[in-house]
Structures are given as structure tokens and as C-alpha cells.
Structure 1
């Protein structure tokens, strides 16, 4: 047997990579993790999920005070924005969590190789000026912001920015234009809208939130419009020019038509993400990325080269931190000779706007088009949050819960929700689906009162026409 420096080398310390490294070490393997950032945690902890949620949470408080929601509850305040302090609390949260990963590496004896990893051969990786060998190598290099052709992002100038730059704005822009109506653009656009910016969202498609259930997309659009976000749907951006501290966008209908210009103080380019496979020297390991820049894998996360595995944003599937984490655990267990598996049919998606938007499983459109239900038939149950007692007392009337079930077997195929805590509520739906629950299983499970989650119970009852409070 060859003498390797490590049993497992993980390239990348994002949610997938650091979890894979820790789990592999827990299973008794000698583990190293190559990471070029100064702190661990990847995009998610450093410039993605965590800092954006810190800004979303803080801006919710400011907005509740500014828009009269608090006054309705008998709390009269006049808010004053202290943006430097808001940024400071965001940075503090990031520092604590990234530091926590470093502690876990030490606790589990995972060696952090500081530098960018690239293959020398199928079992050797160069990290800085060092070459290390490993019996098994896990590629977990994550993803980066996808560029918009012809549009130059310069986060330092804070006029045309990406999602990282949008977290660091030193002032509230008078007018922010968000290019892209997906999750990240809507979340960051919501932050600055709450803090006082006028926000316009330009989306090439005819509706926001691609991939989400159709009714959820339409209702979300309505809610965001009510909050003050202006949408330009079926519209493409053909150019962005910068003149001093202003940006001029050239836009036209997606199907072709009259050209217009939009002036903005800040433009957020948020059209998606792309896998970080460039620079890995995959060819030296006998690998090649597909046309999307992804690394193809089998059900167990093996690539086409024995001993090389891949997880997270670099492989096909949704680019979600929690998906990567589950894959990190599974790949480590597979390497250790155990049986690691991820049910990719039950991966929840959440938009952390106000209210939150969440879903798991099939959309109604996908269920009908694919004929997933027995005989191709499905049933749908819905329940509005305005009829939920906890949402009513909290002044949170917007949204609904929707459950899609097989018409004959009653097995739940998908659950979608718009509610203030939809991101937490969706965990119940995911657990139910993982165990093959029927809508009746959920309907006959006692839910605490008064809670937002009662809306899931009522939606499940509505599948069979038994909802009580509507």
C-alpha cells in the first residue's frame, strides 16, 4: 500500500468541505483541508449566508420601526440608522462563526493547509509551495459569483457591485438596481430597501424566483411590490456604464423592442453563481469539467477517477450550503467504508426575505407535468397565513402554505410556504417527506397552538377538503 501524507485531503473549507473534513476525522482518518482564505467557512460564512442574514435581521428591526409596524403594537419610536454599527455586528457574527470552525479543526485534529490547492496527479495536490499526497481527495471548492458579460464589477468603488460588495456599502444608495430576480438579489435588495433605498429589480424571465412553485412566485412578487420594490420583468440588461458615482443601465424587452436607460446610485449584479473548478488543474488528475464547469459524480459522490470525490456547488444540483453539508457527511462516511447517502429529492430551499419563502419537493407544475402522482393525478391543499392565529397576533397576514400530494396514495410530493418563519416551518415538511408521510399523517399530527406551523396542518387537512379555519 502506498505511503500517503493523509488518508483524506479536502480541497475547500466551505460548508461542504469543512464538514467533510471534520466527519472524516471523527471516523478515525488522518485529514487535511486546503483553504486559501484567511478564515474558514467558505463563501457561506464569510461573504454569503451568514453576513447577509445578519444584515437582513438588523434591517427588519429598522423597517418595523420605520414603517409603523411597531407603532401598531403600541411601541412608538423614531429610528435612526447607524450603518457602521450594523456592519460591525455583521462582522462580529462572521468572526465568531469562522473562528468556531478553526476551533473544530483543532479539536478534531484536522490539519489546515493554508493555500490554494491544485492537482499534481490523482493522489497529489500542490498547496502553496508544498505538495501533499492523500489516498482519497474530496473536491469541495464551492462557487463564485457569475459575471454578466460586458458589465464590470468593482466592489471598491461601490457603484457596480456583486453580492460581496453589496454587504459592504458604506451608505444607503438613493436608487439601487438589482440585476436578477433570484434568491440573493431579492435578499440583498430587501436589506437596502428597508434601510431607505429605492430598489428596482430587472429580471430577464417573466417572473422572479425561477424554480419555485408558480403560485409562490406570483404571490412573492405581489408582496415585494407592496413593500416598494419595482420590478422590470422580461427585461434584459445590455450595458452598464459608470459616470462618477452613478451608473447608467441600458435595458430592453427580452423579446426585443425599445431601448431604455435607468440611472442608479448602485447596481447589484446577481444573476447566479458558477462552480470553482478553474485553477484546480483537473486534467492532471485525469478529470474534466462538463459544459457548466461542474464535476460529474455518481450516487456516492465518486468522480470518474478512483480516489477522487466531489461535493457541493462544484457538482450538479442546487447550490445550497445545507446540501453541501449533508454531502460532506455522506462522502466522508463513504470514504470510511460506511454508507453515506443524501436524498436529493428532499432538499429545502429558503429565501430569507420578509416574509420568508420556502419549499421542498416538487412544485405543482412539475408534479402535473411529470405525472408523478399515481396515474398522474395530484391534489393540492392551501391555507392562508391571514387565517393563522399566531400570524394574526404578530401582524403577519401575508402568505400561505401549499401542500401537493398524490391523489391516490396521498403521499406528500411537495410543500411550499410564504410566512415570516417559513424557513423554519419547512423542516417539518422535509422530515415528513423523508419518511414518506401522507397529507393525512400531517393533518392528524397535533400541532401546538398558537404557532405558525398550524398552517401546515391546515394545508394538509385542505388536501382532503377538511380545513377548519377557512
Structure 2
């Protein structure tokens, strides 16, 4: 049995940076990754990086080949090829950076607990056992596949990961789901020239957003030819000679409908990937959703076993996984002051066209909590940079506390929103008065200077 100071199960963001940190400090580290196609984790292989690369290419395709399906299909095929080269490069780079470290050993196989200190790794040429003083679980998440008749038999059903492997542009893409992933894929494939239909079970589009923001997003998507059908419960799927048919019912009255397409994307959420870990052998507990339960310092109920990233539940963002590493580093080597409660507020971005970014409270949330607030709205077209970029869709919105002038929340639905939201995040995190952004000197022309007018409340 091989002995290690640390065993990290999963080669994701938190795991790889933790391995490097521990190696630098002289720890003997083992990383266990179940697939050679996932070195570096989901982000560079099947999530953030490949999707954003394709979204960029979709914007170009829409600009140059709008409503010319043959040319857009060819552009899409080339984009998938370029995406594959990019992910391959990043995967190899991630592997090389760690494999060259003298204190790090990478095992490509399925890891599972046999006790609280021991991990069995199923390798192609047989099983081995590793023993670690500290063990870190970083296995990420996996798509939730709903119980729909025929879904397992169909050759036309994809997840957000497997969809990126297909280089044939669907003429009609059907998306089942109500999360943000479905919005990004809908916007991307519409940009490439696909007809897109979204089926979601709820009766409210983007229920977690204020209605003015949600309606603005919906209007933009409709103009791009994206059809959104609410109250839709998928019933069955079956392949046909020239595509696939999905049968669904209206949740409100049970009326059945069917829709024909070329491909179906299942975007009904993700769940923690705990399969094969055999957590019970280590005594590690999970919650009702299958997420590993952790303290605010990311320890499980077994003190020397930690969980980081998506596997512990909560918001699934790469940058939060990176911060999980920082918390663990502080617990191991620092003053032990960091925890998951001190990183709020946390911004997020949805890479639709234009992108949507948010931080803090929405207007509806602030009012429900009884705050006295000032609300500011600014159409994206009011920012001159949007006109120079010929991307005038969207709106900017800010929520300010009426009593102390602190920024309580901000939603940006405009070009460059994913960048500008970080400026607002810094102002909020440092407790700035809203006039800090109102009077700040930004470059011109830029989308960020729109914050001057937005915060002139």
C-alpha cells in the first residue's frame, strides 16, 4: 500500500491548484482521476471554456452567415474542430503541469473508499490501494437525466457535454430544462443558425430574476428566433427516420403535444458526482440531494476528509472551486479565518447574447426582506459603446439601500456584462457608497462608463 500525505480524488480546479500548493510545501500527493479526458476538470474539457469558445464563434457565424444554413453548418463544424484542439491543449497542459512535479503522482482510474484513510483505485491493469493522511474529494457534478420514456434508447438525446462532441449542426434543436445552461445553449445554437425550442416545466420564465430583466431576455431571445414553451412536461422520446419526436403535455391542463427536431438537449440540472466513491466505507455523510455535507471550512463529518467544488452542493462555478482551495489552504497553513460565509456577494454570468450578469439581491428579494431601496434602470442603448459595437440589446439595473447608500444588487443584461459585473462586485465587497461608481472615471467609450449613469440615482 502506497502512503501519501494527501490524496485528491478528482482533477478539477480546486484539486489541481491544491496539489500544486501541497507539492510546493513538500507534501507527497496522489491525484486520482477517473478519465484521461477530464484532466483539469469539467471547465476546460466540457463546460466553461469549450462553450464560451463556441459562443464566440456563434456570434461570428451569425454576423457573417445569418440565415445561410449551409455556410453556418460548415462554420459550426469548423468551430467544433477548433474547440477540440483547444480542449486537448488545455487537458495536456493541465496534466503536464502536475505530472512533472516530483511530489505528485497521477492515477487515472476510479477511486473509492475502503476505509476513512484508504482509497482503492481501479486501474486498467488491476487495483491498487493508497493511504492518505488528508483526503480531498473534488469529483464535481454530473447531468441529471430525467425519467422520460425512450430517453435511454434514443440516439438523438444529448447532455451539455455530449452535445459538444457533435459536429453536425441541428436544423432544429429541442432543449428540455429550465436552468441557465439551457439559455446559453439556446443562444449559441440560434447564433449558429439552428431553430431552437425550449421546453420548461415552470410557468414563469427565469423565475429567479426580476420580471423586467426576465422579460427583456425573453424578448431578445424571441427576436433571435428562439421559441420558449412554458408549463411543458416531457413525456416520451422516440427516434424517427429523419430526426426525433418529443411528446409533452401542458402542466396546467394535461393537453398533449408533440414536437419534431433533429436533436434534444437535456438541461435539467446537475447533481454531485458521488457514484463509486463508496462514501459509507469512510463514514462520510451526504444530504438529501446527494451532496457531501461540509462545515463552513469544507471539512466533512470525518475531520481529515474534505470536499470542494460541485460535489459539496451549492452554486456550481469554477471560481468558487478556486476559492474552496483558498479556504482549505488557509485552514491548513494560514490563520484559519476564511470560510464559505465570507465570500459573499458572489457574481455570476450567463453567456447568452448579450450576456447576463448579476450580483447581490434582486429588486423583488430586497422588497421581500423589507428594505427601503432606490432602483435604477438604464437601457443598454443609452451607453454609447453599445452603439459602436452594434449590440444595443438589453438593460442595466441597480438596487441601492435608501438609508446608507450601499449597493445591494446589480443586474447587467448587455454586451460585456460578464466583465463589468466584476467592477460592481469590487465596489460591493469593499462596502463603497453608490456614488463611488457614479463618480468614478472610466475610459471612453466603454460599457463600464454606463455605471456612471446607472448609479446616478
Contact 1:27 1:336 in 2 (8 A): no
Secondary structure of 2:161's aligned partner: helix
Instruction: Say whether residues 1:423 and 2:418 are aligned partners.
Output: yes
Tell me the CA shift for residue 262 of structure 1: 1.0
Secondary structure of 1:237's aligned partner: strand
2:204 to 198, 207, 217: 207
1:384 to 379, 385, 394: 379
1:169 to 158, 166, 171: 166
Structure-2 separation of matches of 1:438 and 1:24: 40
1:94 to 61, 79, 87: 87
Structure 1: unaligned runs, 5 residues or longer: 69-77, 465-470
Tell me the CA shift for residue 99 of structure 1: 1.9
CA 202–234 in structure 1, closer or farther in 2 if over 3 Å, else same: same
CA 24–414 in structure 1, closer or farther in 2 if over 3 Å, else same: farther
Deviations 1:405-456 (A, max 9, x none): 2210111121110112111111111212211222112212211111011122
Structure-2 separation of matches of 1:142 and 1:249: 30
Contact 1:8 1:137 in 2 (8 A): yes
Instruction: Say whether residues 1:122 and 2:116 are aligned partners.
Output: yes
Contact 2:8 2:32 in 1 (8 A): yes
Structure-1 separation of matches of 2:308 and 2:264: 32
| Mapping of residues 42-441 of structure 1, within 5 Å | 42-67=41-66, 81-106=74-99, 108=101, 109-128=103-122, 129-151=127-149, 153=151, 157=155, 159-339=156-336, 340-342=338-340, 343-371=342-370, 376-441=371-436
CA 94–332 in structure 1, closer or farther in 2 if over 3 Å, else same: same
Structure-2 separation of matches of 1:192 and 1:30: 45
RMSD: 2.2
TM-score (norm: length of structure 2) = 0.92
Structure-2 separation of matches of 1:250 and 1:156: 13
Deviations 1:124-177 (A, max 9, x none): 1112211111111111110001101125556993x1111122212232222111
Structure-1 separation of matches of 2:346 and 2:424: 11
CA 19–363 in structure 1, closer or farther in 2 if over 3 Å, else same: farther
Paired positions, count? 446
Moved more, 408-417 or 182-191: 182-191
CA 350–127 in structure 1, closer or farther in 2 if over 3 Å, else same: same
Contact 1:53 1:352 in 2 (8 A): yes
Structure 2: unaligned runs, 5 residues or longer: none
**Equivalence for 1:74:** none
CA 347–152 in structure 1, closer or farther in 2 if over 3 Å, else same: farther
TM-score (norm: length of structure 1) = 0.89
Structure-1 separation of matches of 2:17 and 2:369: 35
CA 399–27 in structure 1, closer or farther in 2 if over 3 Å, else same: farther
